[in-house]
Amino acid sequence: MSESHKAQVQAQFGASAHDYVTSPGHAGGADLEQVVAWGRKRGAPRVLDVATGGGHTALAFSAFTPTVISTDLTPSMLAAARGFIQSKATTGNVRFLASDVEALPFRDSTYGVVTCRLAAHHFPAILPALKEVARVLRPGGSLLVEDILGHEDRELAAFILEIEKRRDPSHVRALTHREWEAFLKAAGMTVIDESTLTKSRPWEEWTARMRMAPEAKADLERFVLDAPARWREAFGFTIQDGRIQTFSDRLILIRADRD
Ligand X SMILES: C[S@@+](CC[C@H](N)C(=O)[O-])C[C@H]1O[C@@H](n2cnc3c(N)ncnc32)[C@H](O)[C@@H]1O
Q: Is residue 115 a contact partner of residue 59, using CB atoms and an 8 Å limit? A: no
Provide, rounded to whole angstroms, the least separation between the CB of residue 60 and ligand X: 8
Q: From the centroid of its chain, how far is CA 53?
A: 8
Q: Of 210 and 232, which has the nearer Cβ to ligand X? A: 210
Return residues touching ligand X (CB under 6 A).
1, 9, 13, 20, 26, 51-54, 56-57, 72-74, 77, 100-101, 117-119, 122-123
Q: Of 29 and 236, which has the nearer Cβ to ligand X? A: 29
Q: Is residue 136 a contact partner of residue 48, using CB atoms and an 8 Å limit? A: yes
Q: Of 116 and 224, which has the nearer Cβ to ligand X? A: 116
Provide, rounded to whole angstroms, the least separation between the CB of residue 101 and ligand X: 4
169, 172, 175, 179: CA torsion to nearest 10: 170
Provide, rounded to whole angstroms, the least separation between the CB of residue 76 and ligand X: 9
How many C-beta neighbours within 10 Å does residue 24 have?
A: 9
Beta bridge partners of 201: 247
Q: Of 130 and 189, which has the nearer Cβ to ligand X? A: 130
Provide, rounded to whole angstroms, the least separation between the CB of residue 39 and ligand X: 12
Q: Of 232 and 254, which has the nearer Cβ to ligand X? A: 254
* 181 burial level (CB within 10 Å; 0-12, 13-18, 19+): middle
* Separation of alpha carbons 141 and 106, rounded Å: 15
Instruction: Indicate the residue whose CB is closest to ligand X.
Output: 53
Q: Is residue 69 a contact partner of residue 49, using CB atoms and an 8 Å limit? A: yes
Q: Is residue 77 a contact partner of residue 17, using CB atoms and an 8 Å limit? A: yes
Provide, rounded to whole angstroms, the least separation between the CB of residue 177 and ligand X: 20
Nearest to 226 by CA among 244, 212, 214: 244
Q: Is residue 225 a contact partner of residue 170, using CB atoms and an 8 Å limit? A: no
Provide, rounded to whole angstroms, the least separation between the CB of residue 26 and ligand X: 4
Q: Of 8 and 248, which has the nearer Cβ to ligand X? A: 8
